[in-house]
């Protein structure tokens, strides 16, 4: 690692910028996708159940993940809702989840008229702390939605143990976590259900879309999950049935998305490998830098870095997080202070307890509270985090420049 010369002027103060060349970019879609799309159209149907593209997409996904069953959906949000519905989560149930996540994690919980309960996070992996999960369990707890944030796996062994002990389901939100591994096992195959997103910002894109893995290995669980994504319409053999029993949404994936998904899936391992290498390299380059704590991946796990989130230790620096971020931008390194604006429970839906206009239902079914200080570690993470972009199309030089710039800014502001 090349040393930053002591006293080198920051770009924000008129000194030379660390990064003067553009970051690497690349084409995410090409003739591979176009060929699949043309074949889909030539089928003369775009309905997943009649065509072959969604089926092939799932077959290849199942082979990659070594699971028996998965269901295609219209989004990551839909996937999580489907898993909750299949798990039997219903009105008045409590579902424990993370306060730092996309709202897609919460939407299905509330549409099932269940109540989100927030547990606190590990300060350096930014994932759910098993002890905090256990402390939030009540007789109403029906499920845990773990969020593997930014490609980094949650501590699944203790979480599964707690869930088995209390007879509750575990749903893995893998929207940001393709091919990430917990002690060698793929995230999304450990809980009862694994939920993926193929929206345009994720590791792979079908425009919008999602997948739910059904991990029990029981074909009946697969049928229930499949039906919940398709208006509770049962399309299998003797079970063929379109009588409405319980409510379920239409979250079907189309053949166009399935077609693009087939081509995208072939690129997934390379995308994840690149991101893993780049993210791990940033950690190696930033370890021990004054005022910085790295995005920690626990020993034995593998992250595929949907983004890289470091934290600023303001007590070791003479600048604020915002000043640090601005100085880093001036060095030519794009970055964002924080992630979501506040922890989820401080957002107005939870503060007002208004999931639906004109009523406090389903919140009034539970004693759960959403006050400031509920998850102090999660709140502190968002106040001190700086997010760096990790992208598969970046070059080694892009990553080295990122490390150099963070070190330069940290050295300048060290106390
Ligand atoms: C993207 C995302 C979702 C929602 O996925 P959509 O496809 O946008 O509905 C859910 N959870 C997390 C953690 C996400 O990052």
Q: 1: pLDDT confidence band, cut at 50, 70 and 90?
A: very low
| Residue at a domain's end among 265, 282, 308 | 265
171 lines ligand 1 (CB under 6 A): no
- Which of the 8 DSSP states describes residue 287? T
- One domain for residues 111 and 258: yes
Cα 278 to middle of ligand 1, angstroms: 23
The residue out of 213, 237, 265 marking a domain boundary is: 265
- The verdict on residue 2 lying in a domain is no
Q: If pLDDT is split at 50, 70 and 90, which confidence band does 2 have?
A: very low
Q: 85: closest CA among 248, 322, 319?
A: 248
pLDDT beyond 90 at 7: no
Residue 376, CA distances (Å) to 155, 211, 342, 399 in order: 19, 33, 12, 32
Segment among 28-42, 240-254, 344-358 with least mean pLDDT: 240-254
Rounded mean pLDDT, 365-387: 97
Q: Give every CB contact of residue 299 below 8 A, 6+ residues apart in sequence.
A: none
Residue 381 to residues 83, 139, 156, 301, Cα–Cα distance (Å): 28, 30, 21, 21
Contacts of 267 (CB under 8 A, 6+ apart): 28, 204
Judge if pTM exceeds 0.85. yes
Measure 205 CA to ligand 1 centroid, in angstroms: 12
CATH of the domain at 255: 3.40.640.10
- Ligand 1 lined by 333 (C-beta under 6 Å): no
Identify whether 36 is preceded by a cis peptide bond (ω within 30 of 0). Answer: no
pLDDT at 3: 47
Bridge partners of residue 336, in order along the sequence: 387
User: Both 72 and 185 in a single domain?
Assistant: yes
Using a 6 Å cutoff on CB, does residue 176 contact ligand 1? yes
Whether 127 lines ligand 1, by a CB cut-off of 6 Å, is no
Residue 198 CA: nearest ligand 1 atom is: 7
Residues 224 and 322 reside in one and the same domain? no
Give the pLDDT confidence of 278-302 residue by residue, as tens digits.
999 999 999 999 999 999 999 999 9
Average pLDDT of the chain is 96
Q: pLDDT exceeding 70 applies to what percent of the chain?
A: 97
Q: Ligand 1 mean position to 102 CA, how many Å?
A: 6
85 and 130 part of one domain: yes
Q: Pick the residue whose CA is nearest to atom 3 on ligand 1.
A: 104
Q: Which of 215, 246, 265 is the last residue of a domain?
A: 265
Cβ of 272 below 6 Å from ligand 1:
no
175 lines ligand 1 (CB under 6 A): yes
Residue 70 has pLDDT above 70, yes or no: yes
Average pLDDT over residues 145-151: 98
* Residue 70 falls inside a structural domain: yes
Provide the pLDDT for residue 235: 86
What integer pLDDT is reported at residue 107 of this predicted model? 98
Which of the four pLDDT bands, split at 50, 70 and 90, describes residue 244? confident
H or E stretch covering 412: helix 396-413
Instruction: Quote the pLDDT of residue 118.
Output: 98
User: Per-residue pLDDT averaged across 218-245, rounded?
Assistant: 85
Range of the domain at 181: 31-265
Are 101 and 221 in a shared domain? yes
CATH number of the domain that residue 389 is part of: 3.90.1150.10
Q: Is 210 in the pocket of ligand 1 (CB under 6 A)?
A: yes
Average pLDDT over residues 104-111: 98
Residue 1 is assigned to a structural domain of this protein: no
Q: Are residues 175 and 288 in the same domain?
A: no
Residue 237 above 90 pLDDT? no
**Residue 101 Cβ contacting ligand 1 at under 6 Å:** yes
The verdict on residue 348 lying in a domain is yes
Decide if pLDDT at 240 tops 70.
Answer: no
Judgement on whether residues 67 and 199 belong to the same structural domain of the protein: yes
């Amino acid at each position: 690692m090349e040393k930053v010369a002591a006293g080198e002027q920051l770009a924000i103060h008129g000194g030379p910028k660390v990064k003067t060349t553009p970051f690497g970019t690349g084409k995410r879609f090409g003739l591979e996708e176009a060929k699949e799309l043309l074949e889909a159209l030539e089928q003369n149907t775009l309905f997943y159940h009649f065509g072959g593209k969604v089926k092939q997409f799932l077959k290849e996904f199942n082979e990659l993940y070594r699971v028996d069953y998965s269901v295609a959906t219209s989004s990551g949000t839909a996937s999580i809702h489907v898993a909750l519905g299949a798990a039997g989560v219903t009105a008045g149930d409590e579902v424990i989840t993370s306060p730092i996540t996309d709202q897609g994690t919460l939407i299905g919980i509330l549409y099932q008229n269940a109540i989100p309960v927030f547990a606190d996070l590990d300060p350096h992996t930014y994932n759910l702390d098993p002890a905090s999960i256990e402390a939030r369990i009540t007789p109403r707890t029906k499920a845990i939605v773990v969020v593997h944030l930014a490609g980094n796996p949650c501590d699944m062994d203790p979480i599964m143990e707690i869930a088995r002990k209390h007879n509750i389901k575990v749903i893995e939100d893998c929207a940001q976590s393709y091919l990430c591994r917990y002690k060698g096992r793929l995230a999304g195959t450990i809980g009862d259900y694994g939920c993926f997103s193929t929206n345009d910002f994720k590791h792979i894109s079908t425009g919008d879309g999602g997948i739910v893995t059904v991990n029990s290995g029981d074909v009946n669980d697969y049928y229930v999950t499949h039906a919940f994504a398709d208006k509770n319409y049962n399309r299998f053999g003797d079970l063929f049935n379109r009588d409405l029993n319980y409510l379920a949404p239409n979250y079907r994936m189309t053949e166009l998305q399935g077609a693009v998904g087939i081509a995208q899936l072939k690129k997934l391992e390379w995308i994840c490998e690149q991101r893993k290498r780049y993210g791990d390299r940033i950690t190696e380059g930033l370890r021990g830098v004054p005022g910085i704590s790295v995005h920690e991946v626990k020993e034995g796990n593998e992250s595929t870095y949907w983004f890289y989130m470091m934290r600023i230790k303001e007590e070791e620096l003479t600048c604020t997080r915002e000043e640090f971020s601005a100085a880093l931008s001036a060095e030519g390194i794009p970055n964002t202070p924080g992630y979501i604006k506040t922890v989820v429970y401080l957002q107005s839906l939870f503060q007002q307890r208004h999931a639906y206009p004109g009523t406090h239902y389903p919140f009034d079914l539970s004693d759960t509270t959403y006050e400031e200080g509920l998850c102090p570690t999660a709140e502190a993470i968002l106040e001190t985090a700086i997010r760096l972009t990790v992208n598969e199309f970046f070059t080694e030089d892009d990553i080295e420049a990122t490390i150099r710039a963070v070190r330069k800014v940290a050295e300048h502001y060290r106390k």
